[in-house]
Structure 1
């Protein structure tokens, strides 16, 4: 179970201004990915969330695995990175499980999930091997976009354009939501998670850049 404080607040507008070419490349990669998401899903935010979380669940697992192997290879402490990254991957997977129950993706969208995960896993794996700082910055910017998307999703629910259906039982149990929680409560909880992952990955990129983690 994941305890979510329904009264907590997070910075919804925080943006890491690019500091160097690596940061600018990472930002452009994410903005390029956003173009396809907007073109394919438009305002279908439930379905957008399903595909987004399929991709978002990859970096933590890849990063955790490679940090694990590096720690073994170099016989050194990982500074808590492995657990943090694997927890991130698990949390993103739970986002996916929750929104699959909400959106009920069709066969085409499930095929897109399969293709997207396969392509992104291999590209991200290579990126993390060659440029881990850039890899974490990509995730930081990806999470910035996720916060924006979930804020827009919430606005659609509040405006009555998307039905505020009951939250899935597994989401209620995972985030420790109230028994009568609705989609709105789920979106707020997931958005808070994404804001946390955003800040953590930007911190990881900063740590590598500043020589506090190799």
Structure 2
């Protein structure tokens, strides 16, 4: 009979992704059943009803999260990073028509309840203070002021979604109930904001003052929002909705200044190419410009605005109305990749695919 320790060793020998020889030497050293036995003789042992030979042929029984065929961006080789063909993008791929429609209609929610008015007042007080600290102004904004603003804005905008998803996850575990699809949308929002930050960091650097602002915003605002979410989750979603409204105003103003000749932003950014990470994330063409990436970021912010204002009007146990949208976005992204199409702003082939969807 094989001892329990030997059985554990055999199991570990066939665990995917673990160096077998090294693990076997460490695990089985000193085990009586393995003294004098070679490494290859281990395959003859049987554990339970199924032999290890069968398990070695089908490693899916030992794998919980299956590795995708597409390499992770952080594990890809340098020449593969930023390649749209190697990216996994489940975010919405924006067309020129969608972006322009949202630029022409900057929706702003009118506060009705007392909670809405309080959240609106707090957000706009922070917005004006943020403008003063970063030196942002609606006309002829200094380039450095915009860089500060985007880095601080995107670094904090990724906090509420992740925090809300965490609280809902704990709530599901605590109450033994389903989440009704909210967690995925909230995590997608947090990841999208984090991608905005990474894209901005490819275009400009953060100095000491900027990093201090980032840390301060995260340290001060995270406990504040967490405390409110415990008492009234809808109030936080309303606050984030107002936050995204200010983000939409900021991006719309930046886009306008970049497109207006003679402004500092036009002179500095009008001829910049979009970074590779932006091309891969939004399926942009190889000749995409920085202004195209800014438009996509604006469209993402407008989507977060609408999602959070919707969540603010719902009960915590209502089903997420955006689940079908996630599936559609994933299908469109997959189809664009499989057909070799581009999501370049104005790409007629891509727009035709979207209209059919």
Q: TM-score, normalised by structure 2?
A: 0.57
138-147 vs 158-167, which moves further: 158-167
- Report what 2:124 is aligned to: 31
Does residue 127 (structure 1) correspond to residue 127 (structure 2)? The answer is: no
Deviation at 1:118, TM superposition (A): 1.4
- Distance in 1, matches of 2:201 and 2:276, equals 13
Matches within 5 A, 1:1-214: 1=89, 2-7=91-96, 8-9=98-99, 10-11=101-102, 12-41=105-134, 42=136, 43=141, 44-160=145-261, 161=263, 162=265, 163-164=269-270, 165-208=272-315, 212=318
Q: Any conservation in 2 of the 1:98–1:170 contact (CA below 8 Å)?
A: yes
Higher helix share goes to which structure?
1
- Distance in 1, matches of 2:120 and 2:197, equals 24
Deviations 1:65-96, CA, capped at 9 Å, x for gaps:
00111112112121110010011000000011
- Distance in 2, matches of 1:148 and 1:86, equals 24
11-20 vs 133-142, which moves further: 11-20
- Distance in 1, matches of 2:146 and 2:315, equals 34
- Distance in 1, matches of 2:209 and 2:245, equals 27
Q: Any conservation in 1 of the 2:282–2:296 contact (CA below 8 Å)?
A: yes
Q: TM-score, normalised by structure 1?
A: 0.93
Q: Any conservation in 2 of the 1:101–1:168 contact (CA below 8 Å)?
A: yes
137-146 vs 116-125, which moves further: 116-125
Q: Any conservation in 2 of the 1:139–1:198 contact (CA below 8 Å)?
A: yes
SS at 1:40 equivalent: helix
Q: Any conservation in 2 of the 1:55–1:116 contact (CA below 8 Å)?
A: yes
Q: Any conservation in 1 of the 2:237–2:309 contact (CA below 8 Å)?
A: yes
Deviation at 1:3, TM superposition (A): 4.9
The higher relative CO (CA closer than 8 Å, separation ≥ 6) is in 1
RMSD of Structure 2 on Structure 1 (CA) = 1.6
- Distance in 2, matches of 1:154 and 1:172, equals 18
Deviations 1:117-165, CA, capped at 9 Å, x for gaps:
1111111111111221110000000001111000001011101421221
Q: Any conservation in 1 of the 2:120–2:239 contact (CA below 8 Å)?
A: yes
Q: Any conservation in 1 of the 2:165–2:183 contact (CA below 8 Å)?
A: yes
Q: Any conservation in 1 of the 2:111–2:117 contact (CA below 8 Å)?
A: yes
Q: Any conservation in 2 of the 1:47–1:103 contact (CA below 8 Å)?
A: no
Q: Any conservation in 2 of the 1:50–1:103 contact (CA below 8 Å)?
A: no
Q: Which runs of no fewer than 5 residues in structure 2 stay unpaired?
A: 1-88, 320-357
SS at 2:251 equivalent: helix
Deviation at 1:6, TM superposition (A): 2.8
Larger radius of gyration: 2
Q: Which runs of no fewer than 5 residues in structure 1 stay unpaired?
A: none
